[in-house]
Amino acid sequence: MPETSDIARTLPDLDPDLTDAALAEALVRTAGTLALQMRREGLEAQRKSSVSDIVTAADKAAEAYILAQLRRCRPEDGVFGEEGTDVPSSSGRTWVVDPVDGTYNFFAGSSYWCSALALRGPASSADADPEALLGAIFQPQEDKLWIGGAGVPATLNGNPLEGPADARLGMLGVATSIQPRWLEQPLSAMPWHAAAVQSASIRILGSGSCDLARVAQGEIGAWFQHSCPQWDWLPGKAILTAAGGTTATVEVNGLTWFAAGGATAVREIVSALSSARLG
């Protein structure tokens, strides 16, 4: 496998005069293409918090590329990334980066992964649900690029998104994720179960940003999960909101739960989660 620095030197420098939306599109497209190229040439993975929580050289190389381009093109903006980037902002804006979302899928050879980023307003890195000004998600092996945000129409490969249907939760297929160790703990397992059993069907596909993009286009009915870091939540939140969808967060048993979809489904998810409060 070529050294990361050798591959990075072949990547294009982006034009600082690009709009935020055009810059975001170029960044996720290039980062995703880089990660896919590196996977094809051979990768090893390192475990982070669990067997399924891993990182590869492709994650790090893609984030390094995005960081370098943002420092060139938006030097006053902050950058906050999953693989350790944390550059403070002097503009009040911060780019939130997930170079490879769904790394377990990515490393296993699945196509259900993406590169994603969001532009947020003033907030700390610890805030669970700050304002999302813009989101971009690129799924390389399916050549799908979703983008949307404040003043930026929600689109898939340039075509407008219809947004999620406003239907009852019991009529919808719902995407979610929960680790087995969380299913062993009533504080998390009970709220998850209360919401899951209200849906028509459950999908656990392994990439929150891919899931949320598909909720925005109406392919998946709704989505919920707990303890999402900003890079797993804000790109999809921005796109889904721009498509006319609804998002919400709720604290249950000390955990922050995130929900997205049509207004009725989100309201029912929040109600179901809340019904399982303990103590």
Binding region for Mg(2+) = 82, 98, 101, 232
145: exposed, middle or buried (Cβ count in 10 Å: 0-12, 13-18, 19+):
buried
CA-wise closest residue to 276 among 216, 208, 192: 192
Phi, psi for residue 242 in degrees, rounded to 5: -65, -25
CA-wise closest residue to 134 among 41, 234, 210: 234
CA-wise closest residue to 102 among 184, 193, 39, 21: 39
CA-wise closest residue to 112 among 139, 143, 144, 146: 139
Residue 128 is classified by DSSP as S
Binding-site positions: 82, 98, 101, 232
Token pair recorded at residue 22: 């055009």
219: exposed, middle or buried (Cβ count in 10 Å: 0-12, 13-18, 19+):
middle
3 state SS of 218: coil
For residue 139, count other CB atoms closer than 10 A to its CB.
24
For the chain, where are the alpha helices, taking DSSP H only? 4-8, 20-41, 57-73, 103-108, 180-183, 186-196, 208-217, 230-242, 263-274
182-186, long-range: CB < 8 A, 24+ apart: 182/226, 186/278
